[in-house]
Amino acid sequence: MPAPAPASQADQPMTHLASDSPRACPVRSSPAISTQNSRGPTVWPVATTDVVSDAKTEAQRLLSVELQRWVHVAGVAEAAAVASRTVADGDTELLIAAAWLHDIGYSEQLRGTGFHPLDGARHLRAAGASDRLCRLVANHTSASVEADARGLARALAEEFPPEDSPTADALTYADLTTGAHGEPTTVEDRLADIYDRYPPGHVVHESIRRAEPDLIATVRRVEARLAAAQPR
């Protein structure tokens, strides 16, 4: 398991993630999946000019030791690339970067509150990521509902106010149409799998139950936008 980066390195600003207006990038094919990092942790920013590459590098550093989580994240990034047809041209890279990073808060290296959207967003903010990227990660997939159940609603809302946008919708769509093993799925099957993995009474199970109507409505909005959008 890779050792955490030294604090002096991990606190360096993520210069390539600091822009709120990233360049548009082409829709990608299925991302390559690698669980090897022979040089140990990669300190962000790496030597690229691509916010998506930096996001993937950081996600791999933090999550590749958890193979199932990593393949899910890779699948979400692929789904986000497809869903990018529904967002403004300037938001394409932002969306795909957020997809790579949406679950980094599950990493043991970042565990603080135990609520992964907030822990991940705080890590990104401390490292100098853009405000919108932090807010997208913090609020993906109706995170506010679970935050309320955990007594973290005020902290989430004050630190990372949610945005109501096609980009936020597309991130949730990508998460909810990608299965636990990275495979494409329907929102109904994705929710059923979550209910199977987290028993009744668990905060995740109960929060997703409460959020289900909004989650399904979000997926339907994006599906309608995809049907109306011309391929780029």
Question: Hey, what are 88's tokens?
Answer: 């403004």
Using an 8 Å Cβ cutoff, are 124 and 112 in contact?
no
Per-residue confidence of the chain (232 residues) as pLDDT tens digits?
334 333 333 334 444 555 443 333 333 333 333 333 322 333 334 434 589 999 999 999 999 888 899 999 999 999 999 999 999 989 999 999 999 999 999 999 999 999 999 999 999 999 999 999 999 999 999 999 999 999 999 999 999 999 999 999 999 999 999 999 999 999 999 999 999 999 999 999 999 999 999 999 999 999 999 999 876 5
- The model's pTM is 0.81
Phi, psi of 112 (to 5 degrees): -130, -75
Residues 6+ positions from 56 with CB-CB distance below 8 Å: 31, 77, 100
Residues 6+ positions from 1 with CB-CB distance below 8 Å: 65
